[in-house]
Amino acid sequence: MSQTNYLVLKDINKSFSSNHVLKGVNFSARQGEIHGFIGGNGAGKSTLMNILGGIYEKDSGEIYIDNKPVFITKPIHSIQNGISFIHQELKLFSMQSVADNIFMSRLPTKGKGAFAIIDDAEKNRLTQKWLDMVGLKVSPNTIVNKLSIGEQQMVEIAKALSYESKIIIFDEPTSSLTSKEANILFDLIRKLKESGTCIIYISHKFEEIFELCDRVTVLRDGKEVGTVNVSETTTDELVSMVIVVRLEQYYPEIPELTTNEKFFEVKSLVNKKLRNVSFSVKKGEILGIFGLVGAGRSELARVIFGLDYLHSGEIYMNKNQKSIRSPKKAMSAGISFLTEDRRGEGLILNMSVCDNLNLPILNKLIKPITNWLNKSGMKKNTEVAIQQFHIKASNKDQHVKQLSGGNQQKVVLSKWFMTNSQLFILDEPTRGVDIKAKAEIYEAIVNITSSGSAVMIISSEALELLGVCHRILVMKDGLLVKELMRNEATEEKLLKYAMGDVS
C-alpha cells in the first residue's frame, strides 16, 4: 500500500437550504488501501461521497486525484476521473437484462456509421467476464426483476467494476447480501486492493470495518472527527467517536410482560414458501423472527399483511378469524407493516416528509362536510414524529429523497407508529442505520408496546433480537424450527437452529 494520498478532499462545504450538511470536511485515501468511512445518519457521509460521485455539486472546497485538481459536477465527470460509486440503494433498470444494465449508454457495436448495430455477442461476453468476477451465476440475458435483491446488488457491483476505475466507493454493499455473497465480495475487494485500487468502504457494521479496512475516518455532524489505523483502535473507541455513547447503552430496558393473553395468532399458514407455520403473539410483546436469507421471514410478514397469496391457514385477531387478502384489510384489522425495501415500497421519494408521514392515516385527517385535508393536523403529526424519532430534515416539506438512509428509515417507521395499530410487523427496521439511530428506534419500539400493542421484528442480526425481544422464533426453509425465550437465547443457538441443527 502506498503511503501517498491518491485522493484528497479539502475543506468541502455543502448546504441544502438552511441545513449546513458538510462543514469544511477534509478526507484522503491511498492507492491499494481499503479506507473505512463511518458516522451517524445525517453525519454527511453520503453527501460527501455523492459530491465525489457527481450526484451533488459542492458549495466550496477542492478535490485532488493523483495530485491533480479535478472538477466534478456530474456523474459523467466522476466516471471520467476513474471513480465508480456502488450505491446502497439499487439504481438498475428492472425490466432490462443484466447485460443491458451493465453496459447501458456504452453498448458495444459492430459496423460503422449509420450501419453500426449493437454487438450482442460481445456485450454478453464482456458481461459474463464481470459476472464471473463477482461470483454471480446468472445469464447475461436475465431480466433484472427476476433476480433477488442480493443478486441485483451483485449486478451493481459488476457494473461498477466494468469501468475499471482507480477509485471505488462501496456504500453499505452487504446490506442485501447473504453471508456467502458477502464473503465473495470481501475476497473481490481484497483483490482490488492488491491491484492498487483505492477503495472507500462505507458501513455501519463495525465487524466489516475491522475485517477489511486499513484505516477508518469518522464523520460526525458534518465534520471529520479523525482518521485512525484499524489495527490500533477498538469498537468502543470508534463508537465513542461516532456518537459518544457506550456500547452497553444501545438497548433499552425491556419491560416484563404483564399478561399471557394471546391477541394475535396464525395457524398452519401455507403458500409457495411457508410450510405449516403456526405461532401466537401476546399483548405488549416484542417477538423476534430470525433466520438466514431465504428462510421465509419476509414472506411470512407479507402473507400476514395481505401482500402475498395465502394458500391455506387461518389468522386470528382478538380470537376473531380474519380474512386478510390485502393491506387495506390488514390495516382495518389493526396490523401495520414496515417493509425492508424502504425506497421501493415504504416511501414516495418525490413527496415531502409531511406527506409521507401522514399517508397511512389520511382517512382520519379528512374534515367532515368539506372533505378537506386537515393541514394543521398533518403539520402537528409531523412535528411530533420529527421530535420523537429525531428525524434530521431541514423542514417538514423537504422531499424524503433528500434525507439520509437512516432518516428515511425513521420516516417509514414513524408513519406506521402513528396508526396506533395493535400489531406492528417490522422487517429489518434498522437495516443501513447507524448505532445512534438504532438506539432511538429500539427505544421507540419499547415505547409503542407500553400501550399494549405488540411488535414483530424480523432481523438477520441475531444480537439485535437478543437485545430487544421477549421471545425469538427461528425459521428455516419456510418452517418455524425453534422457539427461544429471552433468558435462554444466545447468538450461537440462533445460528445453530437457523442452519438446521435442531438437536
**What is the chain's Cα-based Rg?**
24
Mean pLDDT throughout 200-216?
Answer: 91
Mean pLDDT throughout 5-22?
Answer: 89
pLDDT bracket for residue 6 (50, 70, 90): very high
- Note the pLDDT tens digit of each residue in 300-322: 999 999 999 899 999 999 999 99
Where do the domains of the chain lie? 5-246, 261-334+421-503, 347-420
Q: Is there a contact between 11 and 22 (Cβ–Cβ < 8 Å)? A: no
Give every strand in the sheet of 68-70, ordered side by side.
19-30, 5-16, 60-65, 68-70
pLDDT bracket for residue 456 (50, 70, 90): very high
**CA 341 and chain centroid, separation:** 8
Which range in 11-25, 196-210, 277-291, 361-375 is most confidently predicted, on average pLDDT?
A: 277-291
Q: Is there a contact between 34 and 196 (Cβ–Cβ < 8 Å)? A: no
Pairing of strands 423-427, 454-459: parallel
Residue 205: closest CA among 26, 464, 456: 464
Q: Answer yes or no: is pLDDT of 244 > 60.
A: no
| pLDDT computed for residue 342 by the predictor | 67
| pLDDT computed for residue 404 by the predictor | 78
- Note the pLDDT tens digit of each residue in 252-269: 888 888 888 889 999 999
Ranges of H-type helices in 90-173: 98-102, 120-134, 149-161
| pLDDT computed for residue 30 by the predictor | 95
Q: Return the CATH number of the domain spanning residue range 5-246.
A: 3.40.50.300
- CB-based burial of residue 365 (10 Å sphere; 0-12 exposed, 13-18 middle, 19+ buried)? middle
What HEC string does 309-346 produce? CCCEEEEEECCEEECCCCHHHHHHCCEEEECCCHHHHH
| pLDDT computed for residue 432 by the predictor | 67
Q: Is there a contact between 389 and 357 (Cβ–Cβ < 8 Å)? A: no
pLDDT bracket for residue 33 (50, 70, 90): very high
DSSP string, 232-280: G--HHHHHHHHHS--GGGSSPPPPPP----EEEEEEEEESSS--SEEEE
Q: Is there a contact between 13 and 59 (Cβ–Cβ < 8 Å)? A: yes
Q: Answer yes or no: is pLDDT of 288 > 90.
A: yes
pLDDT bracket for residue 247 (50, 70, 90): very low
pLDDT bracket for residue 503 (50, 70, 90): low
Domains 5-246 and 261-334+421-503 share a fold: yes
DSSP string, 432-461: T--HHHHHHHHHHHHHHHTTT-EEEEEES-
| pLDDT computed for residue 218 by the predictor | 92
Helix (H/G/I), strand (E/B), else coil: 135: coil
Mean pLDDT throughout 81-108?
Answer: 85
How many degrees, rounded to 5, is the angle at CA 457 between CA 456 and CA 463?
Answer: 140
Contacts of 131-139 spanning 24+ positions with Cβ under 8 A: 131/98, 131/158, 133/158, 133/161, 133/188, 134/158, 134/161, 134/184, 134/185, 134/188, 135/181, 135/184, 135/188, 138/98, 139/98
pLDDT bracket for residue 249 (50, 70, 90): low
| pLDDT computed for residue 480 by the predictor | 94
* Averaged pLDDT of the chain: 86
Block residue for cell numbers 414496515: 338
| pLDDT computed for residue 52 by the predictor | 93
Architecture of the structural domain at 261-334+421-503: 3-Layer(aba) Sandwich (3.40)
| pLDDT computed for residue 48 by the predictor | 93
Residue 167: closest CA among 53, 57, 84, 273: 84
Q: Answer yes or no: is pLDDT of 438 > 90.
A: no
Cell of 164: 475499471
| pLDDT computed for residue 475 by the predictor | 92
Among the residue ranges 6-15, 185-194, 207-216, 298-307, the one predicted with the least confidence is 185-194
What HEC string does 378-417 produce? HHHHHHHHHHHHCCCCCCCCCEHHHCCHHHHHHHHHHHHH
pLDDT bracket for residue 28 (50, 70, 90): very high
pTM of the model: 0.58
